[in-house]
A and B are shown apart, each in its own frame.
Chain A
Amino acid sequence: MSPAVLTAMQQGLQTCEACGLLSRPAHGADEGHCPRCAEELAFRKPGSLQRTWAFLIAAAVCYIPANMLPVLTTTTAAGAESDTILGGVVLLWSPTGWPLSLIVLIASVMIPIGKIVALVFLLVTVQRGSIKNNEQRIRLYRTVVFIGRWSMVDVFVDTFTAALVQLQPLMAVEPSSGLVFFAAVVVLTMLAAESFDPRLIWDATRSPEISHA
């Protein structure tokens, strides 16, 4: 390795996100195609910050109805009853059922809001040109990507409960409007994490300032 820490971008090189090949764009060009796999190349994901912000704001907006509106409606002979996500958590909470309740609470309430907060933090620090805590910030990003899919759990719970509990006229369970917003939150936060370019975390760092260990 050369003594100075250099990024591919500083050397005018682009890494293919699909196949990992490093290549040099045509003279003066910012974009090109990977000679190996034909993927479109750029130094950084185009419009990464704007796209991530857009998905995040949309997710935050959907998060409110996702938690306020009921996700399931149970119809029995005694009448109809609607449950929100938090209501379902409370309903499941019992001396034997609490681990289950905790799974739903973590996957459906805490992970989505945690993802939104974490990505906003990453966006703000990148936009302020922060050079601090890069290692922690990249770890945070990896955690967000790794954990995000698990908030889909509640969508599956409600889907299969509704598909199975069709015992008219005894009892029937149907989804409610909150489920659509909740599904939107999951998809939008996953898209937000995908559009964020983690290399931006390191870009504010000037090469002479770090001595790699």
Chain B
Amino acid sequence: MFNQPLSDASLIGCPHCDLLQRMPEVAPGESARCTRCDEELCRHHADSLQRTLALTIAAAILFVVANSVPMLGLTVVGREAFTTVFGGAEHLWSHGWQIVGALVLLTAVVAPGLQIGFMLMILIGARRDRAPRWVGTLLRHYPTVSTWSMIEVMILGVLVALIKIAEYAKVVPGVSLFVLGALVFLIAGIQSAFDPREVWNKVEWANTAEQQPVGERQITGARS
């Protein structure tokens, strides 16, 4: 059963304290914060979707590169060993540590891949004036995917491992490590440039009977 939308679309409830308030018109570069708990309610970025799309395409390319070349290696008394991101998870899996291997695979490969893939599809879908429903479905699950995407944490872990190993072997940072380093900044850029409200305003409603005109707020009949 669908809820009934309000006639005044500028009324919102703060997600962190539930305070009922009116969203002001936010100029590009400005943000609105909850008057009670200081949660950032929205931030308006100029040209948000275009910029995010550019960053996401770059991130997708780097993600493919990062996962296809070696990440780190070592040489000791004439012997060499290299591993990729995937290789780390695979090693755990094949040596009887399936649970931890799956967690590493999820947080270092699957979730970042889904995060970039979801964002790419959301942005491509939202290029039309009225975005199809599946864009909303992807956007709904995007926060979950990004919570479990931990490339920046993995980089720190890899660096600590590198320094530990450097005590008894010569370590060789692979190309992938530098690519992943750049990817961390791109993902941070995506997170800060992306304005989900802009996409939500375009998405076709689940309850099609209630679809409101695109880009037009109904201020008449406002009542709190």
Contact = CB atoms under 8 A, between A and B. Distances in A.
| Residue picked from A2, A25, A152, A201, most chain B C-beta under 10 Å | A152
Contacts of A1: 21-22, 35
Nearest to B77: A170
B214 to A, nearest CB: 13
Contact of B139 (A15, A19, A142, A163): A19
B137 to A, nearest CB: 8
B92 A162 contact: yes
Contact of A5 (B4, B19, B136, B164): B19
A5 to B, nearest CB: 7
Interface string A123-156: 0000000000011001000100000011011111
Contacts of A41: 3
Which bracket fits the contact residues of A? 35 or more
B165 to A, nearest CB: 6
Q: How many B residues touch the partner, as a band?
A: 35 or more
B200 A92 contact: no
A14 B14 CA distance: 10
B127 interface: no
Nearest to B82: A164
Contacts of A150: 153, 156
Interface string B144-157: 00010010011011
Contacts of A203: 18
B17 A11 contact: no
Contact of B6 (A2, A10, A24, A155): A24
Which label, helix, strand, loop or mixed, suits the secondary structure of the B interface? Answer: mixed
Contacts, number: 246
Contact of B160 (A104, A166, A175, A202): A104
B16 A198 contact: yes
Contacts of B19: 5-8, 202, 212
B47 interface: no
Residue among A1, A35, A134 with the highest chain B CB neighbour number at 10 A? A35
Given A14-B3, A37-B140, A161 B165 contact: yes
Nearest to A171: B168
A4 to B, nearest CB: 10
Contacts of B97: 175, 179-180
B5 A23 contact: yes
Nearest to A190: B147
A97 interface: yes
B20 A164 contact: no
Contacts of A158: 161
A158 B97 CA distance: 12
A153 B157 contact: yes
Contacts of A138: 16-17, 37-39
Given A21-B5, A24-B3, A35 B160 contact: no
B117 interface: no
Given A21-B200, A22-B11, A157 B164 contact: yes
Most B CB atoms within 10 A — which of A29, A162, A164, A180? A164
B1 interface: yes
20 contacts: A6-B224, A7-B20, A9-B18, A13-B20, A15-B14, A21-B200, A33-B2, A100-B160, A134-B37, A155-B104, A156-B154, A159-B101, A162-B88, A162-B95, A165-B165, A171-B168, A179-B97, A194-B147, A199-B16, A213-B35
In order of increasing CB-CB distance, the 8 nearest A-B pairs are A156-B157, A8-B13, A23-B3, A15-B13, A38-B206, A35-B207, A163-B91, A7-B18
